[in-house]
Amino acid sequence: MSKISLIIQREYLSRVQKRSFLVLTFLGPLLMASIWIIPIYFSTLGKETKVISVLDETGIFFNELKGDQNIQFVQAVPQLKAAKENLSKLGNYALLYIPKPDVHIPNAAILYSEKQPSLEVKNYIKGAMKKELEAQKLALQGIDPDILTSIKTNVFISSIKLDSSGLEEKTSTEISMAVGMFSAILIYFFIFLFGAQVMRGVIEEKTSRIIEVMISSVRPFQLMMGKIIGIALVGFTQFLLWVLLTSALVFGFQSFYKTELKAYQSTQITESTQGLFANNGDENTNAEQAVPDENIGFFIDALMSINYLVIIGSFLFYFLGGYLLYAALFAAVGSAVDSEADTHQFMMPITIPLILSIVMAQFILADPHGPVAFWMSIFPLTSPIIMMIRIPFGVPYWEIALSGILLIAGFIFTTWLAAKIYRTGILMYGKKVNYKELWKWLFYKA
């Protein structure tokens, strides 16, 4: 077995057997599954009905506040002071006070409560008042509300991509944005997480002087590559376990809560599709507006038309390529310092491209085929994140190939630079290193 293979085996086994690895491996799926499970679980529980007293001096709004299963409106005593005192005595959730305005039509109200009122309550009241105010203004202008309602029209714009041969493919900008951003954030997270592990591992071995024994048997480059690849395999193992365990938890939850899950999914689909296809009219009328089945079907077709094989393959490539590129730089930083506190001055230049990629993500999503998006997806230090944002929108294969070749070349170049720093810094103790010193190390003869 080669020396690099032995180092990889040592790094892999020593890390997967740690308690922290096991805790994070099992805790991660619980957290990820809970993001999906907890909202569904709590939706199955009965909500407490919020009783709101209403003091309406205008006499316009109380009858329009119908309430629902979560909110109930009751008439308050006619004096504001007495109504405030009764709020705590009756145990009501809040007191809605609508003063009589100086102008003809009111447009404001005051909500008194012992606790900060929820956004759900405020939005419900705002929607009901808005609906009634619009009706009052229409009446003043002599306009029949039914006429205004009849001229409101929902518009759905479907997007179809044409290739050079004229073949049509249904697409969805919203789905592409979600897939691209999710993939990019995962890569950003894993590069930082496992790159930092490489740096900490180098610092620990350097400060414990274990490195002196290891260097007597292997070359510094072999040690660095073995550590980088070993931790990469740890990362892949952890990621695979996260996917499997999260899927098992979600599948198990689906098996035990089939009825509740169907009800929750039905509610979510109704609300989301109404939000997508409804116009900007009153919130309370959105629930009454029908959504054409073909619109929902279009989004399902767009979701199914995504080339998941390309996305998954690209994700694995850019995750591995980005990790290897940055891990070499993290290893170089770890070899140049004596403690983790000394790494900050060297970490900034390394992390700037990663942070810039996330900051620029919103501009890339706005114009995924523009010149900024193109060049940032080609540059090796930003391509792992930016290219993953662009790929769901459809990127020519020659651009992906060029980006991949440059990423591999960037990895080889940064590894060569990092190895020069690593071979010198790994045996350097008690000396504060600056950028000038690092520059000298690059030209030391082996």
Query: For the chain, how many structural domains are there in total?
Result: 2
Pair 242, 118 in one domain: no
E strand segments, 150-196:
159-162, 168-171
pLDDT at 168 over 70: no
Pair 218, 298 in one domain: yes
How far is Cα 329 from Cα 289, in angstroms, rounded to an integer?
56
Q: How confident is the model at residue 231 (pLDDT cuts 50, 70, 90)?
A: confident
Pair 103, 236 in one domain: no
How far is Cα 54 from Cα 110, in angstroms, rounded to an integer?
10
Contacts of 358 (CB under 8 A, 6+ apart): 184, 185, 188, 385
Nearest-CA neighbor of 443 among 427, 415, 424, 426? 424
pLDDT at 290 over 50: no
Q: Please, what is the average pLDDT of the chain?
A: 79
pLDDT of residue 294: 52
Prediction pTM value: 0.68
320-348: pLDDT as tens digits: 899 989 988 888 888 888 777 778 888 88
71-99: pLDDT as tens digits: 888 888 888 888 888 887 888 888 888 88
Pair 207, 323 in one domain: yes
102-123: pLDDT as tens digits: 656 666 788 888 888 888 888 8
Domain boundary among 114, 137, 160: 137
User: What's the domain range around 385?
Assistant: 173-263+294-441
64: CATH:
3.40.190.10
Residue 115 lies in a domain: yes
With H, G, I as helix, E, B as strand and everything else as coil, classify residue 337: coil
- The two three-digit tokens of residue 35, written as one number: 């993001």
pLDDT of residue 47: 64
pLDDT at 295 over 70: no
Determine the average pLDDT of the residues in 32-51: 70
Pair 108, 202 in one domain: no
Domain boundary among 120, 137, 154: 137
Pair 374, 434 in one domain: yes
Pair 180, 249 in one domain: yes
How far is Cα 86 from Cα 81, in angstroms, rounded to an integer?
9
Determine the average pLDDT of the residues in 9-25: 86
Pair 76, 212 in one domain: no
The length of the chain, given as a count of residues: 446
Give the alpha-carbon dihedral of 83, 85, 91, 95, to 10 degrees. 40
Residue 242 lies in a domain: yes
Domain boundary among 77, 110, 137: 137
Pair 423, 326 in one domain: yes
For the CA atoms of the chain, what is the radius of gyration? 30
Determine the average pLDDT of the residues in 280-284: 44
Of 146 and 372, which is predicted with more confidence? Answer: 372
Residue 24 lies in a domain: no
Of 296 and 201, which is predicted with more confidence? Answer: 201
Q: Are 170 and 297 in contact (CB under 8 A)?
A: no
Q: Are 220 and 214 in contact (CB under 8 A)?
A: no
DSSP assignment letter at 392: G
Pair 211, 62 in one domain: no
Rounded to 5°, the CA angle 402-393-268 comes to 145
